[in-house]
Structure 1
Amino acid sequence: MFARRWRRELTRSMFVPLDSADLDALLERLAALLPHDPSAVGAALVEAHLTDPSVLEAIIGILDDKRAAAAVAAGYARALRAATMAEQERLNRAVLDAHAAAERALRASESRMRAVFQNAAVGIGISTMDGQIVRVNQAFADLLGYTAEEMTGLRVPDLAHPSDPPDMWLLYEELIAGKRDAVRLEKAYYRADGGVVWTDMTSSLIRDDDGAPEFTIAMVQDITDRLRLQDRLEHQATHDPLTGMPNRAMIADRLDRIFAEAGPDARVGVCFLDLDGFKRINDTLGHQVGDDLLVAVADRLRDCCEPAHQIAGRVSGDEFVLLVDDPDGPGELTRLAASVLAALTRPFQLGRHRTRISASIGVVESAVLDTSPAELMKAADLTLYVAKSEGRGRYVTYDADRDARQAARYALAAAMPDALDRREFTLVYQPLVSLADGRLTGVEALVRWKHPELGELGPDAFIPLAEETGVILALGSWVLEEACGQAAYWARAFPSAHLSVSVNMTVSQVHEPTLPADVEKILSRTGLDPSLLVLELTESAVMDNDSAPLRALAERGIRIAIDDFGTGYSNLAYLRRLPVHILKLAGPFVDGLRGAQPPAASPPAASPPAASPPAASPPAASPPAASPAASSPASPPAVSSSAADRSSPTRTVDEQIVETIVRLAHVIGLSVTAEAVETRPQADRLRALGCDTGQGWLFARPQRPNEITELLRRTTFPASPGTVDGSQDLA
């Protein structure tokens, strides 16, 4: 397919000196060779006499791989140069032979020399030892835009160009002095119209019969198009095609040169910049507007830089780098960062769209001897991450201690996928206890990471990282399947316990459209009764999520719990329209009851057996945890505190808030679980306020699966709830 496309490009743009069959065979062979040796492809084109520049342009135009294109061009150039050299050598020898023969047989040689000289495809000029041009062929005259007669009025030094290599004229002096026989180099000439042409120039010495220098003969081949193509390819390899800024490769190369050429006191600085909210602009206004914004941002960044020693480049997407060579101290970097933030706050007019954008910048300034290019860019990247996490629209300077902690977080995040494969994660289970009679009604699955170096880590150390990196989906799926499998085992081993398992779900998991189907597959594989599964979601996850997946889960008998209720929306009226069954009261509300006094007299049903308060109550048979039916607002076991108690002037605000939440939750058919119950006064007060279930260190700390199993094994489960064997201690 590539060969056919190449053939169309060639035959459309030029005459090809091959018949169709030969051309097809050649292009098929070269297309097969291209992935392995693109340089050889360029050489093969010259060998096939396909030396028209449009041949090279045709393959360059259809190649997406710029490196391969550059290699083809390089091979082409080398082969063409070798062919030209061979032709020049042949012509040179012919000229020399003709000139020598002219001394022996002038008439016979002049006609031969004139034909070679005048008809040569390369420019040829002859000059005397004092630099006077005495003869040029038409090709040389045409190349420089003169007539042959005009050029014979010039001297060799008149053809000097500012770009001539510094040692070129020294080599010329050695040539006319007879110290060398030939000089070859790339040289630029001014044309008569002021333009510039680049040539591959060879100047050779012609000696007389006695060996004394007599003339110099220069042969020039036009290489302007080749050099322009080379420059264009080099520019594409080192510059961002959209903004024209230096790209990552060029910035890295410039940074390497700064370190290689730096003196002992040299310093270097980097501002690593990322646009805030750029994805939103792309998603809402379209990628064309996003591209226009990047171009506009690039212009403003260039305006902020001092060309002498500050370079702005685009390294990827909406990330830019400002590289400062030998700054006068950290102040120059912070001033640059501040000027960039100020420049970007001005609105952008992108066609008919007017928009604003901010940026986050990580600023690093260091002595060159104290760091390396890789360490400098890593520090800038970590510092940029801090600027993002601290609220965006700001710059943050490098802090070694802080970035060491950030690097540790990065390392932890990077290790999570392999840790999941190595089964370094495990689950512990914290009991949930009925506040009415001390019965064990369920457990909450809590994930731990047994890190090989850091020891056991709690979820606060890695769950946010899992959310940021996307590992949370795989980890959450593993947690759910592990917990369901364990709960199914307990259900088979202790069917009278009716023990439910609660599993926390993150926002990312809840937003997955396949969540209901994934949960269904896990239930099917583990064999767990859906009524024994409780999914705990945060308020924000429930409020921001489409309720359809939650309703699909609820219809299967799975219960939905709102975790940490009271820290987010706390909208009970809205919850009434959602398939929610349980509210888990946030710890701060429960903590406010730490010093609360229990009511003077509590109904007998509200207390566990005298010999076994909640902290020491063993589990007993119970219906599924926190079932709305089991805690009906019509007659909850411990809600019937006296009117005098409810109106007591000593009741705290936290008590009143808790009572209000519990009463309203019961009205709309939700049960309430209190988290972080740590003292008996808290448990007593929560029971008096009508809270259904408690969870916390007062009852039990998180336990290993075998510990929960042993607890269930030691517990007597009556045929109907209401009495408990109080011989076991949950704590």
Structure 2
Amino acid sequence: MSGTTEGPTPRAEAAPGAGASEITRCDHQRPGLSELRDYRAAYAAAALPMAVVDHRGRIARPNDALGGLLGADPASLTGQPAAGLVGLASDGPALRAYNEVLRGARPRFRCVRRLKHTDGRPLWAEVTVVRMGDVADGTGRVLLSVADVSERRELRERLRHLRMHDPVTRLPNRTLFFERLAAALAPPPVPDGSPAPRHGRIGLCYLDIDGFKAVNDTLGHRTGDRLLAAVAGRLTHCAEADGLSTGSPLVARLGGDEFAILVEDSSGTQQLADLARSVLAALQRPFEVTGHRLSVSASIGVVERATAGTSATALMQAADTTLYWAKADGRARWTLFDPERNAHRMTRQSLSSTLGPAVERGEFTLEYQPLVGMADEVVRGVEALVRWNHPRFGLLAPSRFVPIAEEDGTIVQLGRWVLRTACRQARLWQLEHPEDPPLFVSVNVAVRQVRDSDLVTDVAEVLAETGLEPGLLQLELTESAVMGSPGRPLRVLQALSDMGVRIAIDDFGTGYSNLAYLSRLPVSVLKLDGSFVRGFRYEDGAHPSPADETIVEAMVQLAHRLGLTVTAECVETSGQAERLRRIGCDTGQGWLYSRAVAPERIAELIGSRPQDS
């Protein structure tokens, strides 16, 4: 009788023919049935909508939450294309990324899609797709999850709205305006991903409120803010009326009292002009604000152009320039961008920015026009006329740059150079022709030189430096610079006259012509404006003006009685010269005698008649 040894009971018996290795694999690699049931129960009961998607992109196992989200029985979702259910099929880039996950080319993909909840409300969902298996062994599946992020999205949109809108007027602010402007000018994409040129047009009304600062300063910021809100309402109404057929333009507050109305699909200049007119009319009606009846207006710059080739920077620069024109032209108006006027402005800015350095670089030269005795036609003196040898624009006459120099103050620096150069040249002629009577030199002086510089000191230093006698220097000033200008200007002129310098009033007869005041000025010479002299023409079938001759004769007689000499400008014909001589003019200046010429040519005229040289 054989015996048995008791030992521990085996945990499992192998099936007939089963090897130990198979038992080990089954024991350690597969979860138990109860564990699998737990996993599946948790998956089905999970609050996060999920689905297992097979390698073909079809739903293999949806959970209950996904069915609830989509308003369908979970079982009915099995076998349906997952991309269509969660809104990926209609988005090319998202669909490509999703397919890459299915193919194993990328491990995961996430995006936000706008879906519709079963109750009909919109739903923002964060869709995540993650690989679960290996494509190579045929188990390639992905886990699709859909998270409701509507509240987070709404909060972000509210924060964005606050960041992109003005709290006073509730209008889009500067940030949103430029975002929309950039989008309107950006080239649209084409199927191959490259940008395509735009063929539309864009328009902009850029305005600020005339008189707003006075309201803000006198009635306070509370009233000012309410006025801005009321202005915003009227602008919005105008924009809505303009966009009844094409969509309303964007109205934005750019800051302070500046507003912009952007027309993204302009039909042309006429649409923008009509919109600007309606805005002006709307804002000119009085406002009732915090118990006050307020009247304001607006200055509006209008720009309309093709979107192709236009940048946001260029459009805003043009609008800003045009708004400046509207203000400079008198306010309470709209002005359309003018390329020719803008080119002139750009040239003016270029000249203004280089005037000072140009003096230092020696880009200016002087030409001289003879002043001839009417009785004997002998050259008595010359007027110095400045020219600018501009490296870009060529030789420029004084009319191109002197007004700019007067505006920005560069005329003081330039005037000193002209004075010194002209006096040095006059002294040089005197030394080179000692046997002939010396020529006096006449130099133009601007108002700012009299008011903003020590002109008396400048003249004294130049005369001492060059050795020119004071009596050979004549300073020409316009009527506006000296007439009716008590105080400093008059004291300056008196000091110069006391020094021996001659003072001439240029273009006499076109300004104040205050004859009573003239008697008290230290003036030596009157230069009659050329408009009177032109009335003396007999040539070319023109008839002389008796009135001009009477006026000139009266002015000459008055000047002589006051001890002044008279110079006639713009003498072009012998007939004019003869009549001016008979009336009693002392000297003449004009093309009959000579144009403005180089110093070398003047040296040839000293002691002679210009016509004989």
1:311 alignment counterpart: 250
Superposition RMSD in Å: 5.8
Quote how far apart the aligned CAs of 1:567 are.
2.0
Q: How does 1:25-424 map to 2 (within 5 A)?
A: 129-132=44-47, 231=160, 235=164, 246-247=173-174, 250-251=177-178, 254-261=181-188, 266-273=199-206, 300-306=234-240, 308-313=247-252, 321-346=260-285, 356-366=296-306, 368-369=307-308, 371-374=310-313, 376-377=315-316, 380=319, 393-398=332-337, 403-404=339-340, 406-408=342-344, 410-411=346-347, 413-415=349-351, 417-418=353-354, 420=358, 422-424=361-363
- Distance in 2 (CA, whole Å) between partners of 1:578 and 1:432 is 23
Q: Mind listing any 5+ residue stretches in structure 1 that lack a counterpart?
A: 1-102, 105-126, 134-154, 161-165, 172-178, 188-197, 206-211, 597-649, 716-725
Please name the residue that 1:551 is paired with.
Answer: 491
Q: Closer, same or farther in 2 for the Cα pair 1:582/1:396, shift >3 Å?
A: same
The one of 476, 482, 507 equivalent to 1:536 is 476
| Closer/same/farther in 2, CA of residues 451 and 213 from structure 1, 3 Å limit | closer
Partner residue, 1:590? 533
TM-score by length of 2: 0.62
For 2:267, the aligned partner's letter is D
1:699 to 575, 593, 612: 593
1:564 positional shift: 1.5
Query: What residue in structure 1 maps to residue 10 of structure 2?
Result: none
State the partner residue of 2:22.
none
Residues 546, 299 of structure 1: alpha-carbon distance in 2 compared, 3 angstrom cutoff: farther
Going from structure 1 to structure 2, the CA distance change for 1:271 and 1:185 (only over 3 Å counts) comes to: closer
Distance 2:595 2:487 in 1: 33
Structure 2 contact 254–260 (Cα < 8 Å) conserved: yes
- For normalisation by structure 1, the TM-score amounts to 0.53
8 A Cα contact 1:673 1:694, kept in partner: yes
Aligned residues: 503
Contact 1:501 1:533 in 2 (8 A): yes
Q: Summarize the alignment of residues 713-724 of structure 1 with structure 2, pairs less than 5 Å apart.
A: 715=607
Q: Quote the residue 2:452 is aligned against.
A: 512
Q: How many angstroms apart in 1 are the aligned matches of 2:585 and 2:375?
A: 9
Distance 1:389 1:285 in 2: 25
- Report the counterpart of residue 31 of structure 1 in structure 2: none
SS of 2:186 mapped into structure 1: helix
Q: Secondary structure at the match of 1:569?
A: coil
Aligned residues with identical type, % of pairs: 41
Which AA in structure 2 matches 1:560? I
| Counterpart position of 1:444 | 383
- For residues 173-198 of structure 1, the C-alpha deviation after alignment (integer angstroms, 9 at most, x for no partner) is xxxxxx999998999xxxxxxxxxx9
Q: Does 1:658 align with 2:552?
A: yes
Q: Is the 8 Å Cα contact of residues 259 and 373 (structure 1) preserved in structure 2?
A: no
- CA-CA distance at 1:673 after TM superposition: 1.7
Q: Which amino acid aligns with 1:691?
A: C
Distance 2:449 2:212 in 1: 22
- 1:674 and 2:607 are equivalent in the alignment: no
Tell whether the 8 Å contact from 1:483 to 1:501 is kept in structure 2 after alignment. Answer: yes
Distance 1:229 1:252, change over 3 A: closer
Q: Deviations over 1:569-627 (max 9, x none)?
A: 2222233344444322111111112339xxxxxxxxxxxxxxxxxxxxxxxxxxxxxxx
Aligned partners of 2:447, 2:461: CA distance in 1, in Å?
20
For residues 482 and 556 of structure 2, what CA distance do their matches in structure 1 show? Answer: 19
SS of corresponding position for 1:260: coil
Counterpart CA distance in 2 for 1:453 and 1:679 is 36
Q: Does the 8 A contact of 1:675 with 1:694 survive in 2?
A: yes
Aligned partners of 2:571 and 2:592 also within 8 Å: yes
Helix, strand or coil for the counterpart of 1:343?
A: helix
**Contact 1:515–1:549 (CA under 8 A) maintained in structure 2:** no
Structure 2 partner of 1:461: 400
C-alpha offsets along residues 43-64 of structure 1, whole Å, 9 cap, x if unaligned?
A: xxxxxxxxxxxxxxxxxxxxxx
- Which letter does structure 2 place at the counterpart of 1:699? Y
1:679/1:374 CA distance change after superposition, 3 Å: same
Per-residue CA deviation, residues 342-377 of structure 1 (Å, 9 max, x unaligned), is: 2343457899895644525334243x3365545545
AA matched with 1:708: I
Which entry has the higher C-alpha Rg, 1 or 2? Answer: 2
Which residue is equivalent to 2:603?
A: 709
Does the 8 Å contact 1:363/1:384 carry over to 2?
no
Q: Pick the aligned partner of 2:584 from 690, 710, 714.
A: 690
SS in 2 for 1:447: strand
Letter in 1 for 2:346: Y
Distance 1:700 1:387 in 2: 43
Deviation at 1:534, TM superposition (A): 3.0
User: In 1, are the aligned partners of 2:185 and 2:312 still within 8 Å (CA)?
Assistant: no
